[in-house]
Amino acid sequence: MNSSQPLEEEYGWSISAGQAGNRIDKFIAEQLEASSVSRTQVQDWIKSGAALVNARMVKTNYKLSSDDEISLQIPVSEETDIKPEAIPLDIVYEDGDVIVINKVRGMVVHPAPGHRSGTVVNALMHHCKDLSGINGLLRPGIVHRIDKDTTGLIMAAKNDLAHRSLAEQLKEHSVTRKYIALAHGNIPHDTGTIDAPIGRDASDRKLFAVTDRNSKTAITHFIVLERIVDYTLLELQLETGRTHQIRVHMKYIGYPLAGDPVYGRSKTVMLGGQALHAAVLGFTHPRSGERLQFEAALPDDFEHVLNSLRTR
């Protein structure tokens, strides 16, 4: 594992005319209010160069101008107690460069506040002799992630060569990622594309929403597989990979995912989480150049819900 400086989180903001005139330390503290970040902490980041304006260091009292671009990279504390744990993994594929696992519901991908153990990373650290170090001490080997209660395929890199290759493929949208999901309502179109930018929810910074403000392009393609009572079973393919993308997009078009405790409906199927499964994962092997593709069957609880709906 290399010793590159790990990053806990990256943020970026484009300043609008209405936000111009604010001090940068006050602005960032307000944007991160949900994370209980103090203004003093923000000022330390600005002084250290972790927060930049238009790619340049500024003083803590810098007054923002319209169209300023702020970037913030929050460094992780070097103190970490992340330990290997003998947690069973459903390994779909493994070689000296890459490992693909079928993640179970309820398992967090990497350690974070409140989840220091029981994660995919803890399990991988026990199973693998080494993992790539590009993402730092808390995310060794992690190239992409899926939500805690989303099941299915996720790949990890065992060395930096593999990590760089897989990360570049994700950036170029050449990784195949197909999901199976159950949504509320009967979607009338057999196929469709949701092209709507996603950013932080202005009313709750812990959530995400379709918004034009400080957002990034997000594109999801879908195919209707089956309409069951007042639900729709879908295959969705990601073109981009924003946080909570499918969940946010389905809510945006009026067909939220069944079982989604955050973006869904109060009356829904009981799954212990959103009905979302990463069913297909394909990529070019970083060393051999061979195109690999893997599939994972729906978990038993998802199948049980479908069978129950079909027999209504």
**274 and 187 inside one domain:** yes
**pLDDT tens column, 94-146:** 999 999 999 999 888 877 666 677 888 888 888 887 887 766 666 677 888 89
**pLDDT tens column, 241-269:** 888 999 999 999 999 999 999 998 888 87
Identify the domain containing residue 113 by its residue range: 79-172
Is 302 exposed, middle or buried (CB count within 10 Å of its CB: 0-12, 13-18, 19+)? buried
The last residue of a domain, from among 172, 199, 217:
172
CATH no. for residue 24? 3.10.290.10
Q: Give the number of other CB atoms < 10 A from CB of residue 234.
A: 24
Point out which residues pair with 223 in neighbouring strands.
191, 235
The pLDDT of residue 85 is: 86
DSSP 3-state of 111: coil
CATH no. for residue 267? 3.30.2350.10
Domain count, the chain: 3
**pLDDT tens column, 270-297:** 788 999 999 999 999 999 999 999 999 9
Place of tokens 């994700």: 170
Asked about 147 being catalytic, the answer comes back as yes
Of 97, 147, 149, 260, the catalytic one is 147
- CA distance linking residue 309 with residue 304, whole number of Å: 9
**35 and 118 inside one domain:** no
- CA distance linking residue 33 with residue 45, whole number of Å: 15
The pLDDT of residue 6 is: 40
